Structure 1
Amino acid sequence: MQNQASSLYLDTVIGFNGTVNTGLHLHPNQKHIIYPLGSTVVIKEFENLGVDEFLSGHNGPISCLAISKTGRFIATGQTTHMGFKADIIIWDFEERRLLHRLNLHHAKVECLSFSEDEQLLVSVGGRDDNNITVWYVQTGKPVCGTTTTALGTCVQFFHNDRSTFMVAGKQMCKVYTIDFVNKRLDFIDCNLGQVKRIFSCLLIDDEDSYAYMGSTTGDIICVQLKGPKNFKFMGPKEKIVQGVESLCFSPSGKSIFIGGGDGSVTVVAKDTLLKISSTILMGGVTSICARESDNILICGTNQSVIYAMKGSGKLEATLIATCHSHRINDVCYPREASEIIATCSINDIRVWNVLKSKELLRIQVPNLECNCITFSPTGNAIISGWSDGKIRAFGPQSGKLLYVINDAHKILGQKKVSGRLVGVTAITMSSDSERIVSGGSDGQVRVWQVAKSSQTLVASMNEHKATVNSIHIRRDNSECVTSSDDGTCIVWNLDKFVRANIIYAPTYFRQICYLNDESQLLTCGSDKQVTYWDAYDCTAIRELREAEEDEMNALDIDYDGQYFVSGGKQKVVNVWHYDNGEIVQQGLGHAGNITKAKFSPCGRFICSVGEEGGVFIWRPHFHP
């Protein structure tokens, strides 16, 4: 059934994985920036970040990325589970296609580097692999390899010698030479004397005279490469707080840009490592690249922010792209606006224009996690549930706090909380915008009468024994249905505030939805199956057993009831035909668990969000 499914077209991605060291690259054509997001490689035009292209082929999070000198090839490595092979993929940039899949490393590929003539690729495995392998780029075949006793974290080929490269890492610094005749790697240890460091990044100058290695201690170690491989000098005098994360030569080659774990970008002289200037960005600077044509510096941080700044004079940063840096818990559309979405995560809510990949509004509440959100039917408020047990309403344009419902749900005194969310975990609003129905980790379902000046508790219904995960309300506001981790879904009468019906199953119910005509219910959960239920008597109509290979978290039905979308720990977005019960399209791109997926009001788009912090916009084939 799944083998017959076609690929779901990925239209837009909002996100940037800044935790991959040196993951953000400027293509040698000076027009595109390239970076990993989950298991996808994102290619964007630097001058128009709304234009996206994608390279998909990995089945796990991308851990490293390298680009050849002319930009013809891109290489990416990934992480996977212990004992499994971690793939390396070589891509053809011009044709945007996969050339070779290389799989000798286990668990993780730590770093990659192309030779200057683009004929060779060197890869270094992670701590559970510790292998160094050299590959032919044209054929994808290995040349030779060796094993190291220490973890290598960064690698680079020499500029003027295709047979020599350098690896630095955990208290190691070695220069390797490829013996093509005997198919082996010979190495020389660099003599650092009493200096012991864990290196995180590496630069070699154009003449192959010196190597500059950034350390987690916060300094740069310079080693001479011509003649004896000896320690030369170190700096800067004031160490970089939280370590050196990334390095980049200036276009003139006379200075070095240092990205620090504290968010600092520091400029030092290449010959002396003396500090020239610095600035502070939001998040540790894990990637730096310079555009030679106009001396623009592009920086990526581990808070999923991309900045641009002039590489000379006073360093003044301009934010050019941003996204969530933690898992996204929920996503919602306004009732009649398919180009606008709202997402929520730890510390904030964000409103996006998905057609332009642009952030319109950011609402921050420090040290708290937003678990669930919804737009009011009138579109004049964003209603949100938080980990402190409060419901907060914000203006969708201004971000102004409209009102707060304190102690909406308990966060203390619970014997056991199921799931990962605490506080208000599910929320929806009646079609007349007069009532809010909320669910919490305390198992309670509560109804609130809301107005501009007052918010009053109308009823509290306490039959669930675990976290309430989702709530859907009928269009006439007479009933709502809730799903819970206690293995029940309950239909509530919203006039009498009593249970009207109940569904039992040996599963953690994650999502429940009404069909468009409200004659049926659709559920998914930890039992890996999708179940159709009669909305009148709550009897099971149909079960799609083993619908996915792992737990399912996300479920939504399109506006005309012909298709529905699901997702979960399998990390695949599945589009199903409702009547046939077959998968018709599959979307690959998420590297973390999919937490929510929604059809747009027009039905032309599907928005999925996940634990990697990315927002993926898909275009199903049945809505061109």
Structure 2
Amino acid sequence: MAAAHGPLASVELEHAIGFTGGLAQSLYLLPSGEHAVYVSGACVVIASLSDPHDQAFLRGHTEPISCLHVSADGRLAASGQRGRIADVIVWDLAQRRELYRLQEHDALLDGGISTVSFSDDARFLLTTGIAPEDKKMMVWDMTNGYIVASVERSVATTCAAWGGRVKDVKRRPTTHPQFVTADADGLKYWDLDPMNGLTSEPCLTSNQKRVYTCVAFSTEEDLLFAGTLTGDFCVLNVPRRLSNGELERINLRLTVLVCSGGVHALRVSGRNLYVGGGDGSVTLYDTDYDEGYKPRKVAEALSGAIASIAICAERGTAALGTSTAVIYELDLAAARARPRIVSENHCARVVAVSYAPGDSVRFATASDDLSVRVWNASDYSVETHCSSRNCGRPLSLAFSGTAVFVGWEDGKIRAYDADEGVELWAIDNCHKGGVSALALSHNQRFLCSGGMRGEVRVWELKTRTLVSHLVQHDDQVTSLALSDDDLLLYSASKDKTFICWDLRLEKRLVSHAQGAGGMNAIALLPAPTPEKQVYVLSVGQERKLTYWDMRQTDPINLVPIGREQLCVCASSNGNVVAVGGVDAIVRLYDTLEYALLAECVGHSDAVLALMFSPDDRQLVSTGADGCVLIWNVYTHA
């Protein structure tokens, strides 16, 4: 992040609301059990389970992270990314710094890393590329970062696990580490000879065909557990090295049916095997039971599939990560204990954000995961969930403090109680194709809406009746803004123009057009003049931040940015403007000298919405990566 000058003293990332819970095993606990390590977009986060203000961010990836593994001793973490730059980064967690950057995997457009996995002693790291774009599977020495062994595979590895060392015929450990991989062809067992490379043996499962999602060795490393998409897990014998030097066959022992929705996570802790299901359940099995495996539910009906299970044996707790991006903490010793929600997050693009007037503690967000949430900025918890069925996606948002107004893809505007989340009312047939923009009047008596076909409409809130229908735009209305006295409405559109409307006369006063491409967003900026003239800021496909004086036809200033910008907002004091775009950077500018004050790096995909808190102390940005970032904004005295 660049240094800040002018009216800003500094900008820092205060908190990240975001967890890529859909990744297989993207959540781990450090040995103390007090901190979790997890994936958030292109960032590795180290966060306290009890203090929401205790977060650290490991940044180095240029694309979203595709896989994560933390060593058993908690010293190291490895993360791989998607895309053309198929890097694996090994992190020193104590120093919170990059230790190695492994760059031997093929950099292809649709490539990336599919698996990273440390050996039990953290001496070796296994990495696999996303085949067939990248067919490499490599083992790295963590004492120096060099490659120990490498093979090519024609199918993508879906999961892998290390299991100590190969045993000889008398079940004594040899010097060869062992691991297993799963892919579309089934399970394969691997023997690593650091001097001579890798040898493999297919795992024989008779005629049984399964799609394997996760694998784990038993504590004694004599059994292998493999979860499947059919909701069961397989138990296989781990082979020994025979007196003639060959490996005995690895064979299926039995199959245990667990849940619906597939098995997505396995974790072994002592004699216990924890199985995470697609139905939101966690089931415990005793691995020493030789006659069969008796289940005990330790959690069920949680939000989404259980994609991650992390165990802290010393504290007797578990952290659970779900596909809906919720992190739970579970007390394993307490019978029938309901897991505690540590953090909730959106699991899809977050398209809108809104603060209520005069309230810097609560804000609302809307996401493509079909949810609208009201957050408490003091502890980043969710106060209220707002949702309706069969509405499509939420496209736009306005927050009054007592109510949340949402424009939906089905063309309706719905209002929700901000404390209870219940739907209060709905206005049908507001805009065909969806309500793409909303603006609430400062007196909270009416609501302005924009549609996908260019219409602008004004609704009285008390009666929910249409009071104005303004037609001038030829394409989607992308943004709306109201003057402080609620007499003038400004609307921006994909048709390259923004229009100033007189709401009393219900007519257009003036229209301005940019040179190329549609306008994505506008914001109003009070000008430091006795006449209280208002400037309009616009961003769009023209790749510039444009300043407009409503008394002039042409822009008064153009600030080139280089990439398309999608959102813009101004601080309430008018000193700072923030913009965000497809390059995933939040930029802050001085509104007097048009100077760049700061570049804030935190998102891993396009920034879709921005808003300053009413007291200007914080800036909230939301992105296509599903993250909501809260930035502290410090100003000069």
1:455 is aligned to: 464
What letter is aligned with 1:125?
G
Q: CA deviation at 1:538?
A: 4.1
Range 595-604 or range 288-297, more displaced? 288-297
Which of 302, 307, 317 is 1:286 aligned to? Answer: 307
Q: Does 2:282 align with 1:265?
A: yes
Identical positions, percent? 29
Sort the Cα spacing of 1:620 and 1:50 in 2 relative to 1 into closer, same or farther, 3 A.
closer
Q: Say which of 525, 531, 541 aligns to 1:526.
A: 541
Distance 1:338 1:201 in 2: 44
Contact 1:124 1:155 in 2 (8 A): no
User: Which of these residues, 511, 519, 527, is aligned with residue 521 of structure 2?
Assistant: 511
Q: Does 1:114 align with 2:118?
A: yes
* Residue 599 of structure 1, CA deviation: 1.6
Cα distance between partner residues in 2 of 1:138 and 1:564: 47
Q: 5+ unaligned residues in a row in structure 2: which ranges?
A: 166-174, 241-247, 528-532
- Find out whether 1:306 has 2:327 as its counterpart: yes
What is the aligned counterpart of 2:406 among 380, 384, 387? 384
Who is 2:530 aligned against?
A: none
Q: Could you tell me whether the CA contact under 8 Å between 1:174 and 1:188 is conserved in 2?
A: yes
Query: Are residues 1:540 and 2:555 paired?
Result: yes
The CA deviation at 1:534 is 1.2
Which residue in the other structure is 1:426 paired with?
437
- Return the alpha-carbon distance in structure 2 between the equivalents of residues 480 and 522 of structure 1: 14
**Is 1:484 paired with 2:507?**
no
Q: What pairs with 1:239-250 in structure 2 (closer than 5 Å)? A: 240-249=259-268
Match for 1:327: what amino acid? R
State the partner residue of 2:200: 187
CA distance in 1, matches of 2:477, 2:490: 11
Of residues 499-508 and 392-401 in structure 1, the stretch that sits farther from structure 2 once superposed is: 392-401
Q: Distance in 2 between matches of 1:382 and 1:316?
A: 30
SS in 2 for 1:515: strand
State the partner residue of 1:92: 92
Q: Secondary structure at the match of 1:71?
A: coil
Matched letter for residue 379 of structure 2: K
> Relative to 1, partners in 2 of residues 1:100 and 1:578: Cα closer, same or farther, differing over 3 Å?
farther
C-alpha change, 1:521 and 1:264, in structure 2 (3 Å) is same
The answer (yes or no) to whether the contact 2:375–2:381 under 8 Å persists in 1 is yes
Contact 1:78 1:87 in 2 (8 A): yes
- Whole-angstrom distance in 2 between the partners of 1:30 and 1:159: 23
Letter in 2 for 1:461: L
Measured in 1, the distance between the counterparts of 2:508 and 2:142 equals 65
Partner of 1:159: 164
Q: 1:373 maps to which residue?
A: 397
Report the alpha carbon displacement of residue 239 of structure 1 after superposing the two structures with TM.
5.2
Displacement of 1:400 in angstroms is 4.0
Structure 1 CA distance, aligned partners of 2:489 and 2:636?
30
- What does 1:338-353 correspond to in 2, within 5 Å? 338-345=360-367, 346-353=369-376
Distance 2:95 2:471 in 1: 58
Aligned match of 1:168 in 182, 205, 221?
A: 182
Work out whether 1:129 is the aligned partner of 2:134: yes
C-alpha separation in 2, matches of 1:324 and 1:433:
28
Residue by residue over 1:268-311, the C-alpha shift from the partner in whole angstroms, topping out at 9 and shown as x without a partner, is: 34245634123222211101122213432321110111223343
Q: Secondary structure at the match of 1:433?
A: coil
Select 1:501's aligned residue among 510, 520, 527.
510
Task: Write the letter of the residue equivalent to 1:152.
Answer: T
Q: Structure 2 matches for 1:26-65, cutoff 5 A? A: 26-65=29-68
Tell me the residue number matched to 1:359: 382
Work out whether 1:593 is the aligned partner of 2:610: no
* CA drift at 1:149: 2.0
Alignment partner of 1:617 is 2:617: no
CA deviations over 1:494-522 (Å, ceiling 9, x no partner): 11111111122321211011113353211
Q: Aligned residue for 1:414?
A: none
How far apart are the structure 1 equivalents of 2:176 and 2:548?
A: 65
Give, in angstroms, the shift of residue 596 of structure 1: 0.3
The reply on whether 1:406 has 2:428 as its aligned counterpart is yes
Count of residues in correspondence between the two structures: 599
CA distance in 1, matches of 2:461, 2:219: 67
8 A contact 2:2–2:600 mirrored in 1: no
| Matched position secondary structure for 2:526 | coil
Map of 2:168 onto structure 1:
none
Amino acid at match of 2:426: V
Shift of 1:533: 1.2
Residue 73 of structure 1 corresponds to: 76
Aligned AA (1:19): G
Query: CA–CA distance in 2 between the matches of 1:51 and 1:559?
Result: 29
User: Cα gap change, 1:350/1:4 in structure 2, threshold over 3 Å: closer, same or farther?
Assistant: closer
Cα distance in 1 between the residues matched to 2:179 and 2:249: 13
Does the aligned pair in 2 maintain the 1:223–1:232 contact within 8 Å?
yes
**8 Å contact kept, 2:33–2:315:** no
* Separation of aligned partners in 2, 1:449 and 1:113: 58
Task: Confirm or deny: 8 A CA contact 1:285 1:301 kept in the other structure.
Answer: yes
* Letter of the 1:139 counterpart: N
Measure the CA separation in 2 of the matches of 1:364 and 1:480: 29
Measure the CA separation in 1 of the matches of 2:636 and 2:612: 11
Q: Is the deviation greater in 337-346 or in 485-494?
A: 337-346
Verify the 8 A CA contact 1:22 1:246 in the aligned structure 2.
yes
Per-residue deviation at 1:59? 1.1
Matches of 1:27 and 1:538, distance apart in 2? 60
Q: Is contact 2:328–2:341 with CA below 8 Å preserved after alignment?
A: yes
Question: In 2 relative to 1, CA 172–235 (structure 1 residues): closer, same or farther, beyond 3 Å?
Answer: closer
| Runs of 5+ unmatched residues, structure 1 | 412-422
Distance 1:434 1:173 in 2: 64
Alignment correspondent of 1:328: 350
Instruction: State the distance in 2 between where 1:536 and 1:198 align.
Output: 66
Question: 1:333 Cα deviation (Å)?
Answer: 1.1
Q: 1:220 aligns with which of 215, 230, 233?
A: 233
Query: Partners in 1 of 2:636 and 2:301 — Cα distance?
Result: 45
Distance (whole Å) between structure 2 residues aligned to residue 390 and residue 623 of structure 1 = 44
Give the 3-state SS of the residue equivalent to 1:163 in structure 2: strand
Code of the residue aligned with 2:512 in structure 1: it is I
In 2, the alpha carbon distance for the partners of 1:398 and 1:219 equals: 39
TM-score, scaled to structure 2: 0.89
**Cα displacement (A) at 1:436:** 1.4
CA–CA separation in structure 1 for the residues paired with 2:203 and 2:461? 70
Cα offset for 1:409? 1.7
Q: Is the 8 A contact 1:92 1:99 kept in 2?
A: yes
Q: Distance in 2 between matches of 1:482 and 1:234?
A: 65
Report if the CA contact (8 A) 1:381-1:393 is conserved: yes
Distance 1:364 1:561, change over 3 A: same
Inter-CA distance 231–316: structure 2 relative to 1 (3 Å threshold): farther
Q: What residue in structure 2 maps to residue 415 of structure 1?
A: none
d(CA) in 2 for partners of 1:210 and 1:132? 24
Q: Match for 1:200 among 213, 217, 235? A: 213
